Chains A and B, each alone.
Chain A
Amino acid sequence: MSEPLPPCVLVVEDNPDHAELVIAALDEHPGGLLIERAADGEEALRYLRASVGSTEGDTAHRPALVLLDLRLPKVDGIEVLRQMREDDQLRQVPVVVLTSSSASRDMNQAYSHHCNSYLVKPLGYGELTELMGWVRHYWTECNKTPREP
C-alpha cells in the first residue's frame, strides 16, 4: 500500500506574474499540495485528459481542483469549462474560476457553463493568501468527489 498522493491543484493562468502569486499564496499554507500550472487553455485540457486517461500509470495526477482564469490564449477559459463539462470523466472535477474580471457577463457565462465557484483576484497579496487558504481548505480537504466518475 503506497502512501496516498497529496491532493493536486491545477492552476490555469497565462500571466506568469499572476501564476507565481497564486502558487505562492497556495503554498503559504501548511500541508502537502501538488500544484500544476498550465499557461493556456490547450495545455490545461491536455493535462486534464491525460490525468484521467491513464488509470494506473499516473503520468498526470488527477486534480482535486482546477483554478481557472477566463482570458486565456489559444482556448479561452469558458471553452475549457465547456469541454470539461461535456467530458464524462472531467465533468465532476471542481472548477473555481479565478479572474480579475468582475463583469456580470463573465459571471453569467461561467455559471451557465457550470463552474463551481467564481472568485475575483483580490488586489494585495495578503488578501490573495487568505482567499487561497479558504479555497485550499474547502476544496481539497472538505469537499468530496467520487474517486471513479
Chain B
Amino acid sequence: MIWQALSRVERSWRRLVDRFLPPVATGRAAGEADSSRLLVSVLLMVCLVLVALIAAWQLERQRSHVSDALMLCLLASFGLALRLVGRGRARLAAALALTSSWAVLCASGVWAFGLTDVALPAMLLPVMIAGLLQHWRAVALLSSLSIAAAWCMAWAQAAGILTPRAALPWPAALDLSGFLVVGTGLILVYGDHLRGQHDRLAAEQLERQRVEAEREALIAQLAASNEALERFAYSVSHDLKSPLVTITGFASRLGTDLSSGRADRAERYLDRISHAAGHMGSLLDELLKLSRAGRVLQTPQPVDLGDVLTELRALLQTRLEAAGMALRVDGYLPVVRGDRQRLLTVFQNLIENATKFTGGQAQPTVTIRCVELDMSVNQATFAVTDNGQGFDPAEGERIFGVFQQLRPQDDGLGIGLALVRRIVEAHAGRIRAESDGVGQGACFLVTLPLPCADEVALS
C-alpha cells in the first residue's frame, strides 16, 4: 500500500520535473545525468518550499532587512543553480543550492529568531540531501559548519554579544551538536550504502548493455557468415555441376555413337570429356586452397609490408616483365599484424590480377601505398591501384565471388579475389574494389590491423 502510494507520488514527481526541467544534454552517461537531474530538482524544490516557509514565518514575526537580503541571495543562487543544470553541470548546481540554503537557514537561525525546535531538523535537511547527493566530505563540512555556528552563538550569548531573543544557551548548543553528529553519522552510513548500491546497479547495467551489444554483434556476424556460406555452397554446387553436365552428356553421345558403329566424333568427344574433368579437378584444387586460406595458420605477428613487397617484386619479376608492368611502392608502408605468408598471397594475387587485366595499356602500372592510418581502431588501409582495364562499378561486389569472372574468356578460374577476401577477413580486415568503369583502372582497398603497442615494443 505504502509502496504503491510512494511510487505514485514518485511518478507524478517525475512528470512535474520533466515539465519544469527539460532534459539536459551532458557529456556524461545519460543515466547518471538523469538521476542527478532528478535529485537536484528535488533538492531545489525542497529548498524553495523552505524559503517560502521561512518567508511566511518571517513576515508574521517581524520585518528585518537582514532576512530580506538573505532571501534575495538565496533566490539568486537558485537562479544560478538552475542555469547550471541547464548547462549540464548538475553536481555543481546541487552543491551551490545546498550551500546557499544551508547558509540561509543558519543565518536566519542566528540573526532572526534563534534556533528553535523547527530550525533544528531544518538545519539537518541540507546535510541529509548532501549525504544522498554529494560526497561524504560535503556532509562532514556542512555538519561541522552547523556545529561551529551553534557554538559561536552559544559563546556570543555567554559573552553578552547577542540579545537573549536570538541566543542559544550552551546546553541547547550541545544538544544541537549531538543531534547533528548522530544525524550526520546515520546519513553517512546510509548515504554511502545507497550510493554504493546505486553505483553497483549502474555498473551492472553497463555490463549488461556491453554483454548485450557483444551478443548482438556475434549474432550479426554469425548471420553474415551463414549467408556467405550459403552463397558459397550455391556457387560451388553450380560450378561443379557444370562440367558434370558436359561429361555425362558427351559420354552418353559417345556411347550411342560407338554402339551404332560411328567412331569419327569419338576423339572430339573424349577430348571434351577429359577437358571438363580436368576443369573440375582444378576447381576442386582451388576450393581446397580457398578453404585453407580461411584459417590463419600462424599466430599473428608484426609483418613488414615493405619487406613483403620487396620479396614479391623478385617473385613476380618474370610475370611483371611479360606484362611490361611497373610495380611501384609509394611512400612508407607501415608494419601490420598478421600471418606473413597469407598476407604475401593477398598482395601477390592483387598484383597478378593487375598484370592480367592491363586493358591494352601502353605503360601498365600498379601502385601500392598506404592511404589511411587510423590509430583509434588500430588499422591501416592500403590501396593497390592500377591503370588497367577496370570494371563496371556495379560489379564491385561480384568480382569477389567464388568462380566469378566478369568475362568468360579471362584465364584463371575466378578464385583469386575470393581467396584474397577470405584471407583479409580472416585477419579481421576488409577489402573492397573501386573503379570508375571499364577502361578506367581499378583500385583495391585493403584494410588490415596494426600490431598492438607491446608487439611494436618487442619488435
Is A14 interfacial (CB 8 A cutoff)?
yes
Interface positions, chain B 253-273, Cβ under 8 Å from A, are 253, 256, 272
| Residues 89-126 of chain A, each 1 if its beta carbon lies under 8 Å from chain B, else 0 | 00000000000110101000000000000000101111
Shortest C-beta distance, A107 to chain B (Å), equals: 12
Pairwise interchain contact B234-A125, C-beta atoms closer than 8 A: no
Pairwise interchain contact A121-B408, C-beta atoms closer than 8 A: no
Pairwise interchain contact A21-B408, C-beta atoms closer than 8 A: no
Pairwise interchain contact A18-B242, C-beta atoms closer than 8 A: yes
Contact partners of A18 in chain B: CB under 8 A: 242, 245-246, 249
Pairwise interchain contact A21-B238, C-beta atoms closer than 8 A: no
Q: A73-B406, A73-B407 are in contact. Are A17 and B238 (CB under 8 A)?
A: no
Is A71 interfacial (CB 8 A cutoff)?
yes
Contact of B249 among A17, A40, A105 (CB under 8 A): A17
- Assembled-state Cα–Cα distance A17/B234 (Å): 22
Majority SS at the chain A contact face: loop
- Assembled-state Cα–Cα distance A116/B390 (Å): 37
Contact partners of A74 in chain B: CB under 8 A: 407
| Residues 263-302 of chain B, each 1 if its beta carbon lies under 8 Å from chain A, else 0 | 0000000001000100000000000000000000000000
Contact of A17 among B237, B241, B276 (CB under 8 A): B276
Contact partners of A105 in chain B: CB under 8 A: 234
Is A135 interfacial (CB 8 A cutoff)?
no
Is A128 interfacial (CB 8 A cutoff)?
yes
| Residues 231-254 of chain B, each 1 if its beta carbon lies under 8 Å from chain A, else 0 | 000100110011011101111110
| Residues 1-30 of chain A, each 1 if its beta carbon lies under 8 Å from chain B, else 0 | 000000000000011011001001000000
Q: A100-B241, A100-B242 are in contact. Are A123 and B408 (CB under 8 A)?
A: no
Pairwise interchain contact A21-B234, C-beta atoms closer than 8 A: no
- Assembled-state Cα–Cα distance A21/B245 (Å): 9
Pairwise interchain contact A125-B246, C-beta atoms closer than 8 A: no
**Which residue of B245, B250, B405 has the most chain A CB atoms within 10 A of its CB atom?**
B245
Contact partners of B276 in chain A: CB under 8 A: 17
Contact partners of A126 in chain B: CB under 8 A: 252
Q: A100-B242, A105-B234 are in contact. Are A21 and B249 (CB under 8 A)?
A: yes
- Assembled-state Cα–Cα distance A73/B404 (Å): 10
Pairwise interchain contact B408-A14, C-beta atoms closer than 8 A: yes
Please tell me the number of chain B residues within 8 Å of chain A, measured between CB atoms.
21
- Assembled-state Cα–Cα distance A15/B249 (Å): 13
Contact partners of A103 in chain B: CB under 8 A: 234, 237-238
Pairwise interchain contact B245-A100, C-beta atoms closer than 8 A: yes
Majority SS at the chain B contact face: helix
Q: A101-B238, A123-B244 are in contact. Are A17 and B253 (CB under 8 A)?
A: no
Shortest C-beta distance, B231 to chain A (Å), equals: 10
Q: A73-B407, A125-B256 are in contact. Are A15 and B248 (CB under 8 A)?
A: no
Q: A18-B245, A73-B407 are in contact. Are A125 and B238 (CB under 8 A)?
A: no
Residue of B nearest to A128 (CB): B249
Pairwise interchain contact B408-A17, C-beta atoms closer than 8 A: no
Shortest C-beta distance, B260 to chain A (Å), equals: 13
Pairwise interchain contact B406-A17, C-beta atoms closer than 8 A: no
- Assembled-state Cα–Cα distance A39/B253 (Å): 23
**Which residue of A17, A24, A103 has the most chain B CB atoms within 10 A of its CB atom?**
A17
Residue of B nearest to A15 (CB): B242
Interface positions, chain B 304-319, Cβ under 8 Å from A, are none
Contact partners of A100 in chain B: CB under 8 A: 238, 241-242, 245
- Assembled-state Cα–Cα distance A127/B169 (Å): 117
Contact partners of A101 in chain B: CB under 8 A: 234, 237-238, 241
Residue of B nearest to A101 (CB): B238
Contact partners of A121 in chain B: CB under 8 A: 245
| Residues 120-148 of chain A, each 1 if its beta carbon lies under 8 Å from chain B, else 0 | 01011110100000000000000000000
| Residues 399-442 of chain B, each 1 if its beta carbon lies under 8 Å from chain A, else 0 | 00000011110000000000000000000000000000000000
Q: List 10 A-B contacts (CB under 8 A).
A: A17-B276, A18-B246, A24-B253, A100-B241, A100-B245, A101-B234, A101-B237, A105-B234, A123-B249, A124-B248
Give me the 8 closest cross-chain CB pairs, A-B, nearest first. Answer: A125-B252, A17-B246, A21-B249, A123-B248, A100-B241, A125-B249, A73-B408, A124-B248
Extra inter-chain contacts (14) besides given A18-B245, A101-B238, CB under 8 Å: A15-B242, A17-B250, A17-B276, A18-B246, A40-B408, A71-B238, A74-B407, A100-B238, A101-B241, A103-B238, A123-B244, A125-B248, A125-B253, A125-B256
Residues of B at the A interface (CB closer than 8 Å) are 234, 237-238, 241-242, 244-246, 248-253, 256, 272, 276, 405-408
